[in-house]
Amino acid sequence: MPKPLCSQHPITDMMQKCRMLYSIPKNREVMKVVQRMNNAFSVAHGEGDAYWFRVTLLEVKATGEDTNGAFSLIEELHPPGCESPLHVRNNEELTYYVLEGEMTFTIGEKTIKGVPGTCIYVPRHIKHKYQVGGDSPAKVLSMFTPAGGEQFFIERSLPAEEYKLPPESVEVDGEFDMDKLTATAQKYGIEILG
């Protein structure tokens, strides 16, 4: 006897697969994935893990583990004059949102002045850098899509002793080592160009 037409519909098929999935006894790892997929969360100011990355204070708001790999989010506080090296991200897009201060972004051949409220999108494989302008620190949100870019900063940072800019440049290895920084960057799909 042929199946009724409604049982051949893609939505019906999907619903049957969902019923099967939820009727199978789950191991702990499957449960963790399901919980993460259904886990809304919030991180207020000062509640994220805080790190010192060289001269910058980072507060990790969301990691790939928190978002099931969808994105990661870091709030960054940079001192006046802070400048990133020219680099390329090959694994994720990057979106900046300036909260405080002034920053100049160079993305490919474009120069964009970032003031509070400015959103800057950087596609993967495009060289870019930024510099903090003025006499005040700059605060910016950095979102990596998909997640993964946050792990470079976590690996190359030290836990912040206080929730403020580090008193001086803080280095994971005690002193700045460009070769180690470059090797860690490459591990996360980042090319440092200069």
Q: What is the pLDDT of residues 65-110, one digit of tens each?
A: 999 999 999 999 999 999 999 999 999 999 999 999 999 999 999 9
Give domain limits for the chain.
5-37, 49-192
Q: Report pLDDT for 55.
A: 93
Q: 188 falls in which pLDDT band (50, 70, 90)?
A: very high
**Percent of the chain topping pLDDT 90:** 67
- What is 49-192's CATH topology? Jelly Rolls (2.60.120)
Residue range 29-76, pLDDT digits in tens: 555 555 556 678 889 989 999 999 999 999 999 999 999 999 999 999
The per-residue pLDDT of the chain, averaged, comes to: 85
Average pLDDT over residues 5-11: 52
Count other Cβ atoms within 10 Å, centred on residue 166: 19
In angstroms, the Cα distances linking 72 to 5, 174, 175, 185 are 43, 27, 28, 17
Whether the per-residue pLDDT at 192 is higher than 90: the answer is yes
Whether the per-residue pLDDT at 154 is higher than 70: the answer is yes
**Would you state the structure tokens that stand for residue 163, as one six-digit string?**
């929730």
CA–CA distance, 194 with 133 (Å, rounded to integer): 20
Q: What stretch of H or E contains 15?
A: helix 10-23
Task: Return the residue matching tokens 């400015």.
Answer: 118
Q: Report pLDDT for 23.
A: 47
DSSP 31: H
**Would you state the structure tokens that stand for residue 191, as one six-digit string?**
């090319």
Q: 21 falls in which pLDDT band (50, 70, 90)?
A: very low
